[in-house]
Amino acid sequence: MNIQSATFVTSLPRYGDFPGIGLPQIAVAGKSNVGKSSLINGLCRQKNLAKTSSTPGKTRLINVFLLNNAFHLIDLPGYGYAKVSKKEKATWGQMMGEYFSFSQTLKSVIQLVDIRHLPSKEDEEMVQFLRANDIPFILVATKADKLSRAQRQRSVNDIAHKLIIQPWEITSWSAQTGEGKDAILQQIGKALE
Ligand SMILES: Nc1nc2c(ncn2[C@@H]2O[C@H](COP(=O)(O)OP(=O)(O)O)[C@@H](O)[C@H]2O)c(=O)[nH]1
Ligand SMILES: [Mg+2]
């Protein structure tokens, strides 16, 4: 599939407040700083559609984008940032819980992990949650440009093993080079069929 148009719709502290429920949705999940906003910008070919930040833990809201006037792309708040208080963690859990229980048109979650690191306990929990709830997911390993080709393959194998999926189910992606973009768009298209 191709992205012809992409616009920002809204930022929500609570998903239950979203009035645009109805269109199919694709959500983007992953820890803070893994590259969620950069992926959205890359797929939409816009520099600042989703705000990126080198300071982890910035996106505390659910950001909604409208793509091709046909589906919503949902930038979920990141997890796993060490300096977050217990209260903030609880708020994150509430937001996510509410999102997944209300989002009846969710077609797939693009789950991001950093290609340089083994998935964290929270990454594993996210994947387990998606599996347990029969939510289809697209596994993307971000920041592929930071590793050599040989290192990438090794890393992808290790990540796959940890998440109990097959290495070929992981798409390597780089926001810098655009590598992996077509493969991700193809999977989004399939999820929306
Ligand atoms: N080298 C490289 N840096 C990336 C990539 N994706 C994101 N980043 C950087 O990682 C930081 C966090 O990215 P962001 O998209 O804001 O992450 P988010 O918190 O998951 O939304 C920013 O400094 C980005 O420029 C990538 O594919 N390659
Ligand atoms: Mg972000």
Q: Tens digits of per-residue pLDDT, 13-61?
A: 888 878 777 899 999 999 989 999 999 999 999 888 888 776 665 557 8
Does the predicted model carry a pTM greater than 0.85?
yes
Ligand sitting nearest the alpha carbon of 33? 1
Topology (CATH level 3) of domain 6-192: Rossmann fold (3.40.50)
Contact criterion met (CB below 8 Å) for 8 and 63: yes
Model pLDDT for residues 57-84, shown as the tens digit of each residue: 555 789 999 999 999 999 998 888 767 7
Closest ligand 1 atom, CA of 177? 27
C-alpha 164 – ligand 2 centre gap (Å) = 26
C-alpha 157 – ligand 1 centre gap (Å) = 22
Q: From CA 80, how far away is CA 118, in angstroms rounded? A: 14
Ligand sitting nearest the alpha carbon of 59? 2
CA-nearest residue for atom 28, ligand 1, is 143
Each domain of the chain, given as residue ranges in start order, spans 6-192
CB atoms within 10 A of CB 65: 22
Cβ of 119 less than 6 Å from ligand 1: no
CA-nearest residue for atom 9, ligand 1, is 35
Q: Which helix (H) or strand (E) holds 7?
A: strand 6-12
Could you tell me the sign of the dihedral formed by the alpha carbons of 136, 102, 159, 184, in that order? positive
Cβ of 151 less than 6 Å from ligand 1: no
